[in-house]
Amino acid sequence: MAVKQIAQGSLSKHVAILRIIFGIIWAIDAFFKWQPTFAQTFLDQFKSAAEGQPSWLQPWFDFWTSIISQNPHGFVIMTAVIESLIAFALLFGFARKFAYLAAALFSFLVWAIPEGFGGPYDASSDNIGTGIIYTIVFLSLYGLERMAGRSRWSVDNYIIKRIPWWVMIANPKPAK
């Protein structure tokens, strides 16, 4: 039993280090989202994602372009805020269970909308986009936290001591 606890503690520490490094990457990305250049090119990213896509995907891109065209500045701010909150959650280990799942969904939507599913796929394609990779990383962090159990390297750990129900938001259910 003691060996298992030591192994879980070591895994927890390594997962926390990975989470924090990923948080630094997201903080840098969030910083860029607050820059004027991002706001100036935001709508164009959505429009260019539709170029060259198969005709059966055009309604998807037309829908999102029309939604975002109504208030592009609001979507710019929302994107910057969401990425900042993701960075905060990763850096400090705050609401990890919720943050990992919400960030995975957000990353998937980034891949599916402004990254155009990483396509169009043709002879000139050279990558599938970052959004899908981020989605996999967030789901992997969720799974690793699940295996590692409760993390001492998180703000969640201290919140749970004062507010026990926070465990439902903070910790992926430990594997048995």
Q: Give per-residue pLDDT as tens, 120-157.
A: 666 666 677 889 999 999 999 999 988 887 778 899 98
**Dist CA 119 CA 43 (whole Å):** 18
In whole angstroms, what is the distance from residue 66 CA to residue 61 CA?
Answer: 9
Identify the pLDDT of residue 85.
98
Residue 3: the pLDDT is 41
pLDDT tens digits, residue range 50-107?
887 888 888 988 899 899 999 999 999 999 999 999 999 999 999 999 999 999 999 9
Q: Which amino acid is at 118?
A: G
If 0-12 CB within 10 Å is exposed, 13-18 middle and 19+ buried, where does residue 156 land?
buried
Using a 10 angstrom Cβ sphere, with 0-12 exposed, 13-18 middle and 19 or more buried, the burial of residue 83 is buried
Tell me the pTM.
0.87
Measure the CA–CA gap between 114 and 82, rounded to whole angstroms.
15
pLDDT at 2: 46
Q: What are the two backbone dihedrals, phi and then psi, of residue 102, each rounded to the nearest 5 degrees?
A: -65, -40
Average pLDDT over residues 23-29: 97
Unique residue bearing structure tokens 């201290």? 158
